[in-house]
Amino acid sequence: MGETGSALGDIFDAKFLKKLESLCIVCKKTYSGVRKGNYEAVNKKGTSIEFADYQEYIPGDDFRYIDWNIYGRLDKLLVKTFKEEEELSVHILFDISGSMMFPEEDKKFDYAKDLVIALSYIALSSKNSVRVATMQDISKKFKDKTPFFQQKENIFTIADFLQKVTPEGEINLVDYISKYIYEVKGRRGTVVIISDFMMKPEVYTKGLNLLRFKNFDIKIIQILGENELDPFGKTRRGQILDVETNEKMTIDFSEANRKRYKAALEEHNQRLRRFCSVNRIVYSLAKTNVKFEDFILRELPKIGFVR
């Protein structure tokens, strides 16, 4: 098992992998899976023997599952639903734009890669199918994605895939997600987006709405570093570089500017959190100075990302 840890990264030792195997990704939407898994879905077809709940009848539902006793008492048409364990398709979309490499000391990209491995392993351990795709400039290529994997052993292929990825340039999130949805041809499920979300709110709003309208279950991990949250330190004046466009700007790092930066960043993050909350998207902020195991094993279960 020591070899496993070195292949995936030192953090993924046998003890940690065992803890990951006890978790599963939560999905509150209902999908028809192609094979059995540990994702518990609710369906109206009655193909499982375990009763789940009642739902209001809508045209097209099978008359056989209407509860006529309730109709006689309440004059309401309610349909029995049943629990069935199905395979869940998990799409992990991983931001590899240039900003994920900066500030270098925050190691956002490394932290994000570990997140991809951990979430992939959780999903594979739950007998779900997993695909990892790198979000990038689609004008250059759209080939950096894995197939859908189903076996735990495929985690090594995913780790190898991640080793070959280098962040660069910028992405158009709307174009990317639009192309991705078309490419997966309706294979809906949970979409996990890992990004610093250093983009305009109207961009991520439009991109996430594309996924919402296609009925994907959406989860977001915004990843930021300690130096990104407070980048100026004791520096008084200097030149900053936009790592995605290479645009340079000289600014005064005064206390007033520090406060303006922090306020602007907090408003940016709050706006993303509000959008997710209103639209029932699970949101989490991953700070790279937080111990990785604590984030996976404590923070994500606490917000209902995994259980």
- Report pLDDT for 88: 80
CB within 8 Å of 219: residues ≥ 6 apart:
25, 190, 191, 192, 193, 281, 282, 283, 284, 305
The helix (run of H) or strand (run of E) holding residue 73 is helix 68-74
Domains in the chain, CATH or no CATH each:
2-28+88-302 (3.40.50.410), 39-86 (no CATH)
Q: pLDDT tens across 35-55, in order?
A: 445 554 444 444 445 666 777
What's the rounded mean pLDDT across residues 86-115? 92
Q: Higher model confidence: residue 143 or residue 92?
A: 92
pTM of the shown model:
0.79
Residue 231 in this model has a pLDDT that exceeds 80: no
Residue 31 in this model has a pLDDT that exceeds 90: no
pLDDT confidence band for 236 (50 / 70 / 90): low
- Is-contact 218 281, C-beta < 8 A? yes
Largest CA distance in the chain: 77
CB within 8 Å of 264: residues ≥ 6 apart:
none
- Nearest CA among 238, 288, 232 for reference residue 262: 232
Q: Tokens standing for 122?
A: 């959780």
Strands 89-95 and 78-86 turn out to be unpaired
Return the exposure string of 213-251: e unless at least 16 CB atoms fall within 10 Å of the residue's CB, then b. eeebbbbbbbbbbebbbebbeeeeeeeeeebbeeeeeee
Residue 292 in this model has a pLDDT that exceeds 90: yes
What does 20-56 look like in DSSP terms, one character per residue? HHT--B---S----SS--SEEEEESS--SSEEEEEEE
- Report pLDDT for 51: 65
- Report pLDDT for 42: 45
| DSSP for residue 145 | B
Q: pLDDT tens across 186-223, in order?
A: 788 999 999 999 999 999 999 999 999 999 999 999 99
Q: pLDDT tens across 109-132, in order?
A: 999 999 999 999 999 999 899 999
- Is-contact 83 39, C-beta < 8 A? no
